Structure 1
Amino acid sequence: MSYIPRYTLAQIRCFVVIADTLHFGVAADRLGIKQSSLSRSLAALEAAVGATLIHRTSRRVELSEIGLQMLPQAKKTIEATDRFVASATGADETLGSFRLGVVPTLAPRVIRAVLPTIRTNYPGIALHAIEDQAPDLTRLLHAGDLDAVIVPLPCVPASWFVEVDLYRDDFLLLVPHDDPLAGNRSVSLSILQERTVMRIDETRDIANELSMNGTRTGLLEPMAHARGITVETAIQWVVGGLGVSLIPESALDMRTLSASVAAVRFTSVVPSRRIGIVYGGPSALSAQSVQIIYRIARELRWQNSLRRRVPVS
């Protein structure tokens, strides 16, 4: 007797989009269906696999342990189906080029974890990546020299550009491994008043962001002691015993972080930034480029969910 699956590709696609957006309303809009239909599709898929894939409360949506394990295979299933349909209909997803700009603190992660996936799914696309500071990248985007940029938000260079919010990126305090703070699980932001702090250039707007949130920006005045351009410079500043550093979490790989330093979270008031991908909108780009942008967005959200499961040393 032939096997008849109790689930559908549409249900798997609903699961993938919910996992990417972590928001039922946004996911329903993206799929062009009612939120009630989305919920029923997810419930049917969970019943078919015999496990809860998404935890949903009135305040948050998050993947379950099983959901995290199944998501990569679910994505591969949807991607394989899309490629099959594109091939059957004669659609060509493998021609042309895609130009992406990335700020330095995000470039290693994007190049290592995201671009290989794009090359796998679009083997004929010519990928071009540019690493630069956000103002220079947005100028290139405005001039039409880039298709999209991954930068801290807000960063819209013109009203017709689209910002896709990806995730919150918390800042960590980097201290020498033998510093008294290294053993703390978290510290107060006020500790910066007592330390010589190096910040990297991309963190220059933290004081403004905290000011908008009602935080005393005087807490960040010691950050004027030193400023670097790269994360590696800031790490070496700490390793050399010259002070501490404020680093975006997404710029650090906790698995390979030098044993000479320790990363400590902040408590209460947590300095952070929003990371997003900005592009010229569907009317300014080919359908293929828009597909690539949203595939990058999905991959970055997925990578961020994995990164946040790695404990800070």
Structure 2
Amino acid sequence: MDLLRHLRFFVAVAEEGHFGSAADRLGMTQPPLSQGVQRLEARLGVTLLTRGSRGAQLTTAGSALLPRARDLLADAESFEAEALRLRESRGALRIGVVPALSDWHVAAVTTEVRGAAPSTVITTTAPTADLVDAVTSGRLDCAVVHHPALIGTLDCGAVIRVPRWLLVPAGHPAADGGSLRALKGLACATAPRRHGTAAFDLLLDTLRAKGLDPVFLPAADDRAAVTAVAAGRAFALTTDPSLRVPGVVRGPAAGDDLALRVRLVRSEAGPPDAVVAAVETALRRERS
């Protein structure tokens, strides 16, 4: 018998509390559903459900086994999804990037890499710690991560400073330029510390050296940061020099000490030097 199929029958009936409703949910008729649950019970040697005028009720054994059935189905779906990912990425170059890089930079990286090593390029966006794990385990070929960061035994390229611009709420005194001290009272919307502990601490130290000691507002990406700025709650830094949205003023470049520091990491079995050079060229490219 198809164990996973019959486990789906059992879980559907248990969650719906009725064979008819479960059959509708699964897009089938009730008789084969009922027969499927009976076959499952016969194989397991226990009664999972009682049938009555009030519908289907879990037995003691059914209640105990339902969580395990859900876990098995979830694992099967995860297994199939991973197999699909491997099939679709076969022969492709898999690159990871941190969310702090703008869409323009990600597109530039993809274009440069395709020119250096013609192939399908699959890009994944994730925090530095996750990217390092993915490259180490072989799920990614290489990744652009924050610097500094713990990278274990991975090979790493040069540290590249990507310019960043200050984003301030429209109407705020700091929107007219001037010292960063004018930002006092605003939170700093940036990626949470767990996304890159060392990089976060470096940003904090740099802001303190400039006379700021802000509260930090977690913002997983530019969209979340821009939303917080537009709401008047925070200031933020962006690598997109042309970002223009209502309620937000893009100030001058924030300075080299507040630039986004990144580097490419790869394993020994990672992509060739030509790919590394292409990524670094894209990150250094100035937007016209």
Unaligned stretches of 5+ residues in structure 1:
1-94
Counterpart check, 1:147 vs 2:141:
yes
Equivalent position of 1:258 in the other structure = 245
SS in 2 for 1:142: helix
TM-score (norm 2): 0.57
Deviation at 1:294, TM superposition (A): 1.5
1:247 Cα deviation from its structure 2 partner: 1.5
> Deviations along 1:261-312, whole A, 9 cap, x unmatched?
112348789434411111124xx235xx3322222212221x2xx24xx7xx
Q: After superposition, where does 1:252-291 map in structure 2 within 5 Å?
A: 252-254=240-242, 256-265=243-252, 270-281=257-268, 284-285=269-270, 289-291=272-274
How many angstroms apart in 2 are the aligned matches of 1:299 and 1:103? Answer: 15
| Contact kept? 1:176, 1:261, Cα under 8 Å | yes
Could you tell me how far apart the structure 1 residues matched to 2:206 and 2:167 are?
Answer: 23
Contact persistence 1:171–1:246 (CA under 8 A): no
- How far apart in 2 are the matches of 1:150 and 1:131? 10
> Displacement of 1:260 after TM fit?
2.9
For residues 50-91 of structure 1, the C-alpha deviation after alignment (integer angstroms, 9 at most, x for no partner) is xxxxxxxxxxxxxxxxxxxxxxxxxxxxxxxxxxxxxxxxxx
Q: 1:223: which partner in 2? A: 215
Query: Which residue in the other structure is 1:233 paired with?
Result: 224
**2:288 equivalent to 1:298:** no
Instruction: Calculate the aligned-residue CA RMSD, in Å.
Output: 3.3
CA distance in 2, matches of 1:110, 1:120: 15
CA distance in 2, matches of 1:121, 1:216: 41
TM alignment of 1:1-313, pairs within 5 A: 96-106=91-101, 108-123=103-118, 125-159=119-153, 161-184=154-177, 186-188=178-180, 190-201=181-192, 205=198, 208-209=201-202, 215-216=208-209, 219-220=212-213, 222-224=214-216, 226-241=217-232, 243-248=233-238, 250=239, 252-254=240-242, 256-265=243-252, 270-281=257-268, 284-285=269-270, 289-301=272-284, 303=285, 306-307=286-287
C-alpha change, 1:182 and 1:192, in structure 2 (3 Å) is closer
CA distance in 2, matches of 1:146, 1:194: 41
Per-residue CA deviations over 1:143-169 (Å, capped at 9, x if unaligned) read 12111110111235223x222124223
Extract unaligned runs of 5+ from structure 2.
1-89
The two structures have a TM-score, normalised by structure 1, of: 0.53
Q: Distance in 1 between matches of 2:197 and 2:237?
A: 12
How far is the alpha carbon of 1:195 from its aligned partner? 2.1
Structure 1: distance between partners of 2:254 and 2:278: 33
Change (3 A) 1:107 1:272: closer
Structure 1 residues 168 and 267: CA distance shift in structure 2, 3 A: closer
Judge conservation of contact 1:199–1:247 (CA < 8 Å) in 2: yes
Q: CA deviation at 1:120?
A: 4.2
User: Matched residues, percent identical?
Assistant: 20
Q: 1 CA distance for matches of 2:152 and 2:196?
A: 23
CA 1:213 to 1:223, structure 2 compared with 1: closer, same or farther past 3 Å? closer
Larger Rg: 2
Question: What is the alpha-carbon distance in structure 2 between the residues aligned to residue 208 and residue 217 of structure 1?
Answer: 14
